[in-house]
Chains A and B, each alone.
Chain A
Amino acid sequence: DAKTTQPPSMDCAEGRAANLPCNHSTISGNEYVYWYRQIHSQGPQYIIHGLKNNETNEMASLIITEDRKSSTLILPHATLRDTAVYYCIVRVGRTGNQFYFGTGTSLTVIP
């Protein structure tokens, strides 16, 4: 079962930063936080993952609170192509097979 909760939907103005929150209050010490997104009728696309330190790559930044009970995915300059459903998932280690999707956040980037 999914161990994360996310707001069902969010809007963001094009060019602004999109901040997508995720609660994972029951996360264990060896569980990583993963973010994927799904554009309509396509397979999920990997964005970023982290354990406890903040992470950044060419797509996004991941901010994890010190107690690890929540995290925020940041898309620094949202474009229309970032409109998608964003899923936050916790996974045991980086090889765990328990990979359950929650309900996700539907992000709409507005021109």
Chain B
Amino acid sequence: GAVVSQHPSRVICKSGTSVKIECRSLDFQATTMFWYRQFPKQSLMLMATSNEGSKATYEQGVEKDKFLINHASLTLSTLTVTSAHPEDSSFYICSAKHGNTGELFFGEGSRLTVL
């Protein structure tokens, strides 16, 4: 089946640094990718929707300058958490929409810990 890979799976960084998380669709082209954030014992919260070659659409309350999203190709989207702070510590999950079928496939998530 279709696979979505996220890297890194875990990252620890110091407060004030920036962290980049990659999301790749390994065997299909994804016209649209989505980024979610999940805090402990909570549900997934949609942060933004990105279409290949255009600017991401952010959900209300999500700072676009804080969470930079780039979707430069049909198989890769990146989320950069800029000037990370401890409150940004969370589980970040991406999903990719299959360009042909519209099915959504989720990555395994990336756990960010900001010290």
Q: Choose among A2, A43, A100 the residue that contacts B93 (Cβ–Cβ < 8 A).
A: A43
- The A contact surface, by secondary structure, is loop
| CA A46 to CA B93, docked complex, whole Å | 14
Chain B contributes a number of interface residues (CB within 8 A of A) equal to 24
Is the beta-carbon distance between A97 and B32 smaller than 8 angstroms?
yes
On B, residues with C-beta under 8 Å from A are: 4, 6, 32, 34, 36, 43-46, 49, 91, 93, 95, 97, 101-109, 111
Is the beta-carbon distance between A43 and B46 smaller than 8 angstroms?
no
Asked if A35 is an interface residue, CB under 8 A from chain B, the answer is no
List, in ascending order, chain A residues with CB within 8 A of B91's CB.
Answer: 41
Chain A contacts with B in 77-110, Cβ cutoff 8 A: 87, 93-95, 97, 99-104
If A95-B97, A99-B34 touch, does A43 touch B109 (CB 8 Å cutoff)? yes
| CA A94 to CA B101, docked complex, whole Å | 8
Interface residues on A, range: 20 to 34
Tally of A-B Cβ pairs under 8 angstroms: 50
**Least distance between B21 CB and chain A CB atoms (Å):** 13
| CA A94 to CA B108, docked complex, whole Å | 22
List, in ascending order, chain A residues with CB within 8 A of B108's CB.
Answer: 42-43
Chain A, residues 33-56, CB within 8 Å of chain B (1/0): the string is: 000101001111110000000000
Q: Choose among B43, B45, B97, B107 the residue that contacts A43 (Cβ–Cβ < 8 A).
A: B107
If A41-B91, A97-B49 touch, does A87 touch B106 (CB 8 Å cutoff)? no
Is the beta-carbon distance between B102 and A93 smaller than 8 angstroms?
yes
List, in ascending order, chain A residues with CB within 8 A of B43's CB.
Answer: 2, 87, 101-104
